[in-house]
Chains A and B, each alone.
Chain A
Amino acid sequence: MKGDPIVLVSSLHKEYRIDGSRVKALRNLDLEIREGEFVSIHGPSGAGKTTLLNIIGGLDKPTDGEITVFGHDLAKYDEDFLATFRCAYVGYVFQLYNLISTLTVAENVMFPMQLAGWTDERIRKRSNELLDLVGLTDRADHFPAQLSGGELQRTVFARALANDPPLILADEPTANLDLKTGLKIIRTLERLKGEKTVIVATHDRRIIRLSNRILNLKDGRIVSNGYG
């Protein structure tokens, strides 16, 4: 068993309204994730993996139930607090990269640090370290539209690590990548194991194999919650 619980989910429900009809994305979820754990969320498409990650990351709010992350009851806070929370605690790796198209690779990596109010010198130093870590130093001045899928995903990883957040949320980080590029991403994730709390929504067996715990979701419910 790892450290203290940092994510506490209790009786969580999430419902979306689409054209007047209700779609239940998560149903009565209970979950506890401890500090330093590497958790894989597995399940078919539409099971609620991304929704769960979004709620844990403070990007979305539950319809009902409780969600406490690092002691903060996220359902109760306004957008301003959630923005500060995301900036300080969460590094997000989006499935579709979501880089800021008008900023260069280096500027994208610098962005969370600028939001956090770091000094210019510290930002530059950290950004160089991260670009070196993901092997993108030579692409620092390129724009996202000029990068390949693998380079985009590595930039996203560098950005997710920028503020040195204690929690990394990754949504299908290898889904759009070829085998070789996917392996590079997996190595980056492997480096994070033990250092940070990592929650990954994935179908990739190589990532699942890395995990301490595997959550299996189906129709918005946890069908299995086992330790690897």
Chain B
Amino acid sequence: MVMDDFPLKDLMRRKLQTSLTILNLAICVGVTVFFVHFGGNLGAELSLATSGKLTAGLSVILSKFTFILVLLNSLAGVLVTSFLISITISERIRDIGLMKAVGCLTDMVFAYFTIEFSLITLAGCVLGVIFGVVANFASVWLLNSVGFHIQPKPLDPWTLFLIFFLFALFSHILGIWRIIKTMRIEPVEALSRIFPLRTNYRSGWWIPSGFGFTVKIALRSLVRRRSETVQVVMCLSIILALMTLSICGGMVAKETTQRYVERAIGRDVILVSQAEIAEQYVDLLSKFFEPKQAGAINYLVEKYVIPNSLISNLGSIRGVVKTDPRLILETTIYEYPKAIADPESPTGYITIGNHRTCRVFAVGVNPDQVVNDWFILGRKLEETDSNSAIIGDSVGSKIFDDPLKQIFKMRDAEFNIVGVCVDPVNNGEVIYVPFSTLSSLTGEHWYNLLLLQIDSSNRPETLRRIEAEIEETNLIILDLNEVLNRHTKFLDYTWSMVLTLSLSSLLNAIFCLLGYMTLSLMSQRGDLGVMRALGAKPSTITKIIFLQSLLLVLVSGAIAVPLGLVVTFVFFIPEATISQASLLPIAGLILLVFAALSMSSTYPAIRITREPMNKAIPLG
């Protein structure tokens, strides 16, 4: 036996099985590479470490999401690969028995299968890395081509190597474990006609007699291949959970994060300020999706003043719902360590925090006039607050250990943090303090930015009146809806990229099911041929096969879908919002996936029904 040639030739002979296994692994490796790098391009770190500090924050949601998806995807990849290897080996139990029976040493048979498995794994991992890198650059290019400026991060060869190595390692561990298990079969057992179907013992499963005989045969076939059926249900459950997460989680996350941003910027908000300030503010807002460096300006000069009389006049225009005058400036804040009660010892204290600093965008607001309605951890500012602040989530994660228990210092004044908000201004490096406090600290008792919330029903008329009011001043107006739309569009694209994962998991699921069905049909080929010979129509055979895959998909779906939904709503997204209009496409997509999966099995079914009878059954 020429061991060098055998595995390769054998793989080439089993083109469908080999391609399915390689493709499945390649997709999983590729998706992992893609998410690790693409997530990095968006500034989301693949670590749950930051999530302990904050429960809110878009990057945290994205990185949590990416992390769980990559984890599940990796698990699915390794499991499905080893499962496909396992079914390839189960198909060949007779061969193993024969090889052993004619005197081939177990070591030799083991080496033969291990080489085959290694070839498949390496091919899958190499293809996967290439696929992931290409997908990463393609996504960055796509986002740039639609107007967003994403700087692709240089590829880290060590990360690529690590992904490659981990996939290859875990696939080998699981795959070789299965090979070892198979090698233990005695030749007499492997050659027995009873062994492949375990027909020497009954299934303890109750099959209702009221079911049609096609259902009964389909069920019986699944139960008879108990070990493989349990494995395929496990693999499909993981893949379908991954798919539910990416479809449902992706859509919920998209809608929720868009809602966060919409609440933070406000809908139908008009900015009134001097042109430089307006430009600066828009640049700071746009940092969320464009890495723009806002230039340094001194906000506290007289030319930026918005007269109180003008604010009052603008506020009285019909159609203006809310007037939100602000004093904005750039400053540095200093973290203060704080002694808090030790949660582990009722009498002890521990110190949290350090002496870190952060350059932030400070906004002085009148708490009862703000147009924003952020997603907040903690509470909003109140009229009675003087030295209290709400901080942006990026500040919170940058310089605080437990923001809601800590204080910071700004311009020699100490501030209690009462809330952490999701705010795209300056990409979350922003603080909101009462206007009265900020103006006393700066000595400037005027506003340099005004936000007006207007009634959308009479928008053109209101805008005309505002324009008329500021005509004689050096101020300009800017519709923030345009900025908001760019934000939501950006989030739309970002989450759409995440949603592509559902496509890859659909492919994985199809490969997994096709692999199982191919094995299943190989061993059922004779039985199905006999059924045809006895008068079963091709449609009856297709129905039996379709029912088998439908049952597998339904059982896996019953485990996976609730799991995916629970993870999405309970763990992933704080205050998840989803409109009823979005529920329908989610349910529709999941049903479509189930249908596509079940339908995929009809391909081998059709092939088998077209097979000439003398090939399907031994006719003597």
One of A27-35, A79-87, A181-189 at the interface = A79-87
Residue numbers in B under 8 Å from A86 (CB-CB): 533-535
B459 to chain A, nearest CB (A): 66
Residue numbers in A under 8 Å from B614 (CB-CB): 54, 59-60
B99 close to A (CB within 8 Å) = no
Q: Is the CB of A112 within 8 A of B535?
A: yes
* Bound complex: CA A79 to CA B531 (Å): 13
* Bound complex: CA A125 to CA B360 (Å): 88
What 1/0 mask marks residues of chain A from 140 to 156 whose CB sits below 8 Å from any chain B CB?
00011110000000000
- A residues lining the B interface (CB < 8 Å): 50, 54, 59-60, 79-80, 83-88, 92, 94-96, 98-103, 111-112, 114-116, 143-146, 159, 171-172, 201
Q: Can you name the residue of chain B whose Cβ is closest to the Cβ of A172?
A: B620
B545-567 interface with A by 8 A CB criterion: none
* Bound complex: CA A111 to CA B536 (Å): 9
Residue numbers in A under 8 Å from B609 (CB-CB): 79
What 1/0 mask marks residues of chain B from 505 to 536 whose CB sits below 8 Å from any chain A CB?
00000000000000000001011011111111
Q: Can you name the residue of chain B whose Cβ is closest to the Cβ of A142?
A: B199
B173-202 interface with A by 8 A CB criterion: 193-194, 197, 199-200
Residue numbers in B under 8 Å from A102 (CB-CB): 197, 199, 217, 220-221, 224, 524, 527
B332 to chain A, nearest CB (A): 76
Q: Can you name the residue of chain A whose Cβ is closest to the Cβ of B220?
A: A102
Residue numbers in B under 8 Å from A60 (CB-CB): 612-614
Q: Among the listed B527, B535, B618, which residue makes an inter-chain contact with A101, where contact means beta carbons less than 8 Å apart?
A: B527
Q: Among the listed B200, B612, B618, which residue makes an inter-chain contact with A96, where contact means beta carbons less than 8 Å apart?
A: B618
Q: Can you name the residue of chain B whose Cβ is closest to the Cβ of A54?
A: B619
Per the CB 8 Å criterion, the residue count for chain B at the interface is 33
B89 close to A (CB within 8 Å) = no
B379 close to A (CB within 8 Å) = no
B356 close to A (CB within 8 Å) = no
Q: Is the CB of A111 within 8 A of B534?
A: yes
Q: Is the interface of B mostly helix, strand, loop or mixed?
A: helix
B404 close to A (CB within 8 Å) = no
- B residues lining the A interface (CB < 8 Å): 193-194, 197, 199-200, 213, 217, 220-221, 224, 524, 526-527, 529-540, 609, 612-614, 617-620
A-B contact pairs, 11 of them (CB 8 A): A79-B537, A83-B538, A87-B534, A94-B619, A94-B620, A98-B526, A102-B527, A115-B535, A145-B194, A146-B194, A201-B620
* Bound complex: CA A100 to CA B531 (Å): 8
Most-contacted residue by chain A among B199, B532, B533, B614 (CB, 10 A): B533
Q: Is the CB of A79 within 8 A of B619?
A: no
B129 to chain A, nearest CB (A): 41
What 19 new A-B contacts, CB under 8 Å, besides A92-B534, A95-B618? A54-B619, A60-B613, A80-B537, A80-B539, A83-B535, A83-B537, A83-B538, A83-B540, A94-B618, A96-B620, A99-B530, A102-B221, A102-B524, A111-B531, A115-B535, A115-B536, A145-B194, A145-B199, A146-B200
* Bound complex: CA A115 to CA B618 (Å): 22
Q: Can you name the residue of chain B whose Cβ is closest to the Cβ of A78?
A: B538
Q: Can you name the residue of chain B whose Cβ is closest to the Cβ of A99?
A: B530
Q: Is the CB of B199 within 8 A of A171?
A: no
* Bound complex: CA A116 to CA B532 (Å): 13
Residue numbers in A under 8 Å from B530 (CB-CB): 98-100
